[in-house]
Structure 1
Amino acid sequence: MSLAKRSTLAVVAATTLALSLTACGSGGGSAKPAAKNAGGDITVKIMVGGLNKQIYLPVMLAQNLGFFKAQGIEAQLSDEPAGVDAETAMLAGQVDAVVGFYDHNIDLQSKGKSTESVVQLLQAPGEVEMVRTDLADAVKSPADFKGRHLGVTGLGSSTNFLTQYLESKNGVQAGQATSIAVGAGSTFVAAMQNKQIDAGMTTEPTISMLMQKGLAKPLIDMRTAEGAKAALGGTYPSSCLYLTTDYVKKNPEAVQKLANAFVQTLKWIQGHTPAEITEKMPADYYAGVGKDVYVKALENEKSMYSPDGLMPAEGPQTVLNVLSAFDPTVKGHTVDLTKTYTDEFVQKAK
């Protein structure tokens, strides 16, 4: 089956599931009290938009350092390369929480769903727009995206959001470029290698894999707060732990324990070197590029991790500005940003 056909089928499946959620109401239905395992630990199912991506590294790090367990949490982690699919699974009640980009909370509120970020893991997107090496002289800015096929993790994903914003900001009208869902890692690399995409947005370690193979070059680098401000106009909070508002209200103990574990993890990151952090990650996370390259990539973007888990003061407005530039669901609608995140649990964890 071709990559394009697989992408089409994935979109159809996601659309069908999304339509089935329309009767779920605000926040995706009624959350149940958190279950406990035989040992008395609170069981929380967390879906991550790509566990092996460095932008979501704090999740597996918290697990491997034993911070979830120390809080009395049995964290059942599952992997979904596209954040939009993780969001859909949570709204369907298949998982309790998602680690994905904060922007989904704003998009969802515009669609009548109530979710909120409770811990902010990143203060920059950690994304890079990569252009195919053979097109680097022709595609020098997003203004050159007209007529191009652009890789994103999934349609409706945060990479799709950011790509559409860069198009809009640089005069590329809707429909003049085509977003192609290619996932991340090996599928993204294959799409670039087979010339199914001309450029695409991805994260580490996929960025290093592309450069190592000579397949693509960085065009727009948002791995640091400075790079994000230059491209997006302000601080852009990205990876976070978010849940339905209903779950947060009914399970404050579980949410607090999760916040405690993640805040402890963020502090641990600040106090250790990229090499020390890498030693705590599964070996298959860096098998595609090699440990040295993985460590170097982490060294280049370590500043993207939040030092404390708090939402940056100007962050939500920047994200709203970005979404309002192209997203018809958000554009022209009133969004209460105060309901898309809370610092309450992080403040208590500190």
Structure 2
Amino acid sequence: MNKTMKRLSTGVSGIAIAAMLLSGCSSSTTTSAPSKTKDNSTASTSGTPRVSIMVGGLEKIIYMPYMLAEKLGYYKDAGVTVTLVEESAGQDAELALLAGQVDGAGGFYDHTLDLQTKGKKVEAVVTMADVPGEQLMVANRLKDKVKTLADLKGLTIGVTGLGSSTNMLASYNVVKGGNKESDYKPLPVGAGQTLIAAMQNNRIDAAVTSEPTASLLKNKNLAYTFVDMNSKDGTVAALGGKYASTSLYMSNDFVKKNPEVVQKLANAYVKTLKWMSTHTPEEIADKMPEEYYAGDKALYIQALKGQLPMFTTDGKMPAGVPDNVQKILSAFKPAVKNVDLSQTYTNEFVDKVK
């Protein structure tokens, strides 16, 4: 990896995290990070467990619970020290998790299915949203050309990263339109200003993106929503049902060996989700770092209003949703049909939250 890591929580310094990830070393190589015992459990000299979590874009509203939990003091209340490390795509978080560089990943649930086809077992321990919170947006210059999903053929579609959830959702919509996955070009452009610049410079014809990037594209008259996977009704229409997205996933082995740590994290995130469900978008926005507003707090709040309904209030994986995710991914990844869904998520910890 060659991207700069940011320190976004207490625990490990940004410089230490950057060195850790760039060198390919695990978090146990720094004195301030979690140390590992022989059974791979987390430990710290203060007795408070330390956990590192890489999130595929902390400024994205879909991943808001991670930073909000810190701002509300809920990690501390739960008795765990969390270091949040930011990357632009969920795919990067997935790779860091597999390499043992972080303990958990903040990304979409679909990664757990994809990884199982590659012999890697990870599971979502908290499910924070049951719709993707994404939009397939098409450049305004193509409004007269792109009218059906079939018209996506031949387009260059911006995604956060190759193999990312935005890549998977782009592929599904292309295939749903009667095309093959190879009939479009996915181009990794990240999110936020890098994606907007790619659209402005005509490097991409469309993009799968979330808020606040989607609202910024509209506000700049660059693109329009072609497929809504942001609202519940839109998601059902586009994907045939709900689609578990934002989640905390960890290796099955880590979860098995560190149940007390996982429970503390579940306690913090469920408490955060409940707080979100009882406060206004304005109150929530006031808790977030100002840089997340991208220079327009009013637009951020507007986008937040549209995305709040996507979040669960209890952190549970809704019944039947994993089956729908499996069906969607199987449309262009046949191996996903053989995935054992029972190993891709658990409600064990959120069920115990008081």
TM-score by length of 1: 0.89
Count the aligned residue pairs: 318
- The match for 2:117 among 101, 110, 121 is 110
- The match for 1:121 among 99, 124, 128 is 128
Shift in Å, 1:328: 4.3
Please state if 1:339 is matched with 2:347.
no
Q: Quick check: 1:86–1:98 contact (8 Å CA) kept in 2? A: yes
- The match for 2:101 among 94, 116, 120 is 94
Please state if 1:34 is matched with 2:46.
no
Aligned to 1:326: 332
Aligned to 1:296: 302
Percent of paired sites with the same residue = 53
Q: For residue 43 of structure 1, what is the amino acid of its counterpart?
A: R
Q: For residue 319 of structure 2, what is the amino acid of its counterpart?
A: A
- CA-to-partner distance for each residue in 1:94-137, whole Å, 9 max, x for gaps? 00000100000011111111100000001110000111111112
Aligned to 1:58: 65
Q: Quick check: 1:225–1:236 contact (8 Å CA) kept in 2? A: no
**Distance in 1 of aligned mates of 2:81 and 2:147:** 47
Shift in Å, 1:285: 0.1
Give unpaired runs (5+ residues) of structure 2.
1-21, 23-37
- The match for 1:247 among 238, 254, 279 is 254
Aligned to 1:21: none
Aligned positions of 1:96-175 closer than 5 A: 96-175=103-182
- CA-to-partner distance for each residue in 1:164-210, whole Å, 9 max, x for gaps? 01111111123211111110001100100000000010000101111
Aligned to 1:348: 352
Q: Quick check: 1:31–1:246 contact (8 Å CA) kept in 2? A: no
How big is the alpha-carbon RMSD for the aligned residues of Structure 1 and Structure 2? 1.3
Q: Quick check: 2:104–2:250 contact (8 Å CA) kept in 1? A: yes
Please state if 1:180 is matched with 2:184.
no
Shift in Å, 1:223: 1.1
**Distance in 1 of aligned mates of 2:122 and 2:240:** 25
Shift in Å, 1:39: 3.2
Shift in Å, 1:35: 2.4
Aligned positions of 1:226-237 closer than 5 A: 226-237=233-244
- 1:140 is paired with a residue of what secondary structure? coil
Which segments of structure 1 move beyond 4 Å, counting only runs of 4 or more?
none
Aligned positions of 1:264-279 closer than 5 A: 264-279=271-286
**Distance in 2 of aligned mates of 1:31 and 1:213:** 53
**Distance in 2 of aligned mates of 1:39 and 1:294:** 38
Q: For residue 118 of structure 1, what is the amino acid of its counterpart?
A: V
- 2:181 is paired with a residue of what secondary structure? coil
Q: Quick check: 2:135–2:226 contact (8 Å CA) kept in 1? A: yes
**Distance in 1 of aligned mates of 2:111 and 2:39:** 19
Q: For residue 114 of structure 1, what is the amino acid of its counterpart?
A: K
**Distance in 1 of aligned mates of 2:102 and 2:315:** 22
**Distance in 2 of aligned mates of 1:90 and 1:69:** 23
- CA-to-partner distance for each residue in 1:22-60, whole Å, 9 max, x for gaps? xxxxxxxx9711122x43221000000100000000000
Q: Quick check: 1:111–1:329 contact (8 Å CA) kept in 2? A: no
Structure with the bigger RCO (C-alpha within 8 Å, sep 6+) is 1
